[in-house]
């Protein structure tokens, strides 16, 4: 029985980690420049949309995904236009977040 539990948990742990893909900041930068920087500015320094550089250091993947997908931030603010809902792949969210976290 103990062996079964151990086996089950050793199978589950890698699955739990696989749910959050590892972000690639270089790909995130390319995506950001094509899709977000028109509003959030070069290097996410702000424009029509708020500055994001240096502000997302503590954001989790889940919180960031919900912000883009549903326009609700981790501290429960509802974002309005011109911010839009972005339905992306988990890899794309992870890449964007890795890029934004890399900014000072």
Q: Which residues bind ligand HEC (CB under 6 A)?
A: 35-36, 38-40, 48-50, 52, 67-68, 73, 79-80, 82-84, 86, 96
Minimum CB–partner distance for residue 20 and ligand HEC (Å): 17
Residue with smaller CB distance to ligand HEC, 53 or 79: 79
Minimum CB–partner distance for residue 19 and ligand HEC (Å): 20
Residue with smaller CB distance to ligand HEC, 15 or 34: 34
Minimum CB–partner distance for residue 68 and ligand HEC (Å): 6
The conformational region for residue 87 under phi > 0 = left, psi -120 to 50 = alpha, else beta, is beta
Could you give the CA distance from residue 86 to residue 36 in angstroms, rounded to a whole number? 10
User: Is the Cα dihedral 79, 82, 83, 84 positive or negative?
Assistant: positive
Could you give the CA distance from residue 13 to residue 54 in angstroms, rounded to a whole number? 31
């Amino acid at each position: 029985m103990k062996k079964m539990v151990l086996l089950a948990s050793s199978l589950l742990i890698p699955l739990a980690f696989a749910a959050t893909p590892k972000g690639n900041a270089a790909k995130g930068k390319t995506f950001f420049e094509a899709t977000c920087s028109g509003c959030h500015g070069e290097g996410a320094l702000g424009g029509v949309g708020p500055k994001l550089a240096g502000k997302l250091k503590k954001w989790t993947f889940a919180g960031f995904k919900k912000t883009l997908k549903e326009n609700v931030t981790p501290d429960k603010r509802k974002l309005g236009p011109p911010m839009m809902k972005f339905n992306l792949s988990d890899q794309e969210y992870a890449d964007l977040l890795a890029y934004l976290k890399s900014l000072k």
